[in-house]
Amino acid sequence: MKRHTKKAPRHSKKRNPLRNTKRGALARRGNASGYGHGRRGSRHAGTRRQIPVAAPRSSGNGEKVYIYGKHALAEALTHAPHAVRRVFLAPEMDDPELRALVKKSGIEAGALKSHDAGQMVGHDASHQGVVAIMNTGALMTPLAEFVGSLTDRGTRAPDAGTMLVLLDELTDPHNVGAIIRSAAAFGAAGVLIPSHHQAPITGAVVKTSAGMAFRIPLVPIANVNQAIDALKKEGFRTYGLVMDGAMALADEPFDAPALVIVGNEGEGIREHTLARCDVRLRIPMDPRAESLNASVSAAVALYQWSVQHPPHGA
């Protein structure tokens, strides 16, 4: 009798031991400190893979993105009604003005049951009896279109009163929302958001932004460094926020169009991105504190920019 032995499965490709691991993530990082305990990554050699153009993960490819809360829905219906797919209101929600706004918008509205709300946005979310389905892709402005709006399709250059914020792979949605709120408060013309390795626009982001995600242009970018290079050609000066920056924030005159880059919460700005920064800014702090949260650092830097360029009506 013949003995049958089970053959081991064949693998056509070897598994990359660095893939989807912390070490693999660190290999992409530069040697700049982040906002927390900035870890230093090894320099990554070899050919850089070109990232294909793609919309953010939350751009409306059939995925449901929920926003919640009275203020968030009111802001959406007022400033971006085209992005709202459907609204759900609890029968006990007693805000006649919001109900009138929903009716005026013509958007389909349904009854919100308490158990459904928990499944939609989580049982701990403070939804106030208001939930809506969003197409966040409708909030996004393509980079080429956005740059064209800043330059009148190439007929003029942006002036020194133009400031943009670029998020370099932030992972905490509350940081993303807080930075969007600060960007709107201090006069930024837009927020650039990577399509990969970045917290997308979600209900938590919208809630934390206090609805400002509907008031300021959000620009998806497939390749951070290519976007920076394109903006530098338009006259933007790039600023990286790092703990050991050579320029103290208060000493920078901000006398050119500004692109402020905010790095990942734990690892900072990536090496190749940091190399593209014209100025590395630091925020002087009392020695008792080692660092600031990423969104707080961004708020401090954007406020300092606004001191040189006061918002209209301020």
Torsion of CA 297, 299, 300, 305, to 10 degrees: 130
Cβ proximity of 174 and 295 under 8 Å? yes
Q: Which fold has domain 140-308?
A: Alpha/beta knot (3.40.1280)
Does 140-308 match 65-137 at the fold level?
no
Segments making up each domain of the chain, as ranges: 65-137, 140-308
Q: Domain 65-137's class?
A: alpha beta
Sequence-distant (6+) residues with CB within 8 A of 125 are: 68, 117, 203
pLDDT in tens, 59-117: 334 356 899 999 999 999 999 999 999 999 999 999 999 999 999 999 999 999 888 88
Please, what are the averages of pLDDT over each run of 10 residues along the chain (314 residues)? 48 40 35 38 31 33 75 95 95 94 95 87 87 92 93 77 97 97 97 94 91 96 96 96 95 97 95 97 94 96 96 66
Sequence-distant (6+) residues with CB within 8 A of 117 are: 68, 88, 90, 125, 127, 129, 131
Residue 45: DSSP 8-state: P
